[in-house]
Amino acid sequence: MSHVANVMISVEPDDRSAVEALGQWLQTSAPRRGFGPDAVGWVGSLNETTGNDTLWGGGKYPECDVYAGALNHADLAGLVAQVERVPWQHPEFVQLLVMDQEQSYFRVWMFHGATLRQIAPDRREEAVSPSGGLPDIHTRFALADDADLLRDTVVAAVNWAPGRDAPRKAVLADPHNAHYVDGWPRRGDLGVVAVATWEINRWEPVPVGAAWLRYFTEDDPGYGFVGADVPELSIGVAATQRGRGIGIMLIRRLLREAGEVGIERVSLSVEGANPAMRLYERVGFRVHDPREGQDSLTMIASLR
């Protein structure tokens, strides 16, 4: 099965060389969706649609350079991360537009300082991407500027039990916790964020939860490590929003996205007394190799 994405990027003419470097990356080193966590190579190219001989409607020359292409098997989170890393001369004029084959609309990213942020769709996205019964909540891919949100989620996961209040700094200083988010996003990472839009916040989007996958190794395993080819799931929902179905919404979308990129199994770790275990069972996770006396359990979901 192919995974096609229509991509356009608009830049200042001084950034032609930067787009050419991005195009070279797409043809040689881009992460490939559906081919495993370390697969890289050709996913397509971007061709210039503007130039000195190009007139747009109204008989005027465009005041920017636009490049476009239909990419195949491109890891879109990896593409966005790479665009953020490119040394643009004029990042304030860069606009990235992406339409995945699963969607009927373009998503748009622009730079805010050094960070590339999705600016559209915003609160209108639930109209074109149903969220499963929660009109004020929708989900989007987790991007580079969500790193602090994921760190907060790790801290909340450690402090899930009533009365447990480990300091944020101490939690993240522990390498067993920090390696779930260090370097986000790195190759193979995949995540989704739940975003709320409320009138009280003047309809500005507010992240209320996140779920993501990361691969580990035998030398640096996660708490739910099964194998280097099985990513581990982390998830958290804001305390004030729990019990609304946001967690199950996040996991279902994340597992759907994982299946589409070729992931066959996903693991997680949960303490046996954590009520979230029932949620994991509802979405298909089952206890893996239970051992008597263990406080935490490893669970696995098969996506095939």
Q: Is the pLDDT of residue 7 over 50?
A: yes
pLDDT tens for 100-147 read: 875 667 889 999 888 888 888 754 444 444 445 577 788 888 888 889
Residue 166 and residue 224 in contact, taking contact as beta carbons nearer than 8 Å: no
Tokens of 197: 């839009």
Q: Which residues pair with 70 in a beta bridge?
A: 6
Same domain membership, residue 114 and residue 8: yes
Same domain membership, residue 257 and residue 154: yes
Asked whether residue 136 is assigned to any structural domain, the reply reads no
Tokens of 246: 């946001």
Confidence of residue 94 (pLDDT cuts 50, 70, 90): very high
pLDDT tens for 31-66 read: 987 776 678 999 999 999 987 666 666 667 778 899
Same domain membership, residue 60 and residue 168: no
Chain mean pLDDT for the chain:
85
Same domain membership, residue 64 and residue 159: no
Cα separations in angstroms, 300 against 233, 252, 269, 286? 10, 14, 9, 5
Q: How many domains are contained in the chain?
A: 2
Give the Cα-Cα-Cα angle 120, 123, 124 (nearest 5 degrees): 75
Asked whether residue 139 is assigned to any structural domain, the reply reads no
- pLDDT value of position 219: 94
**Whole domain around residue 57: which residue ranges?**
4-120
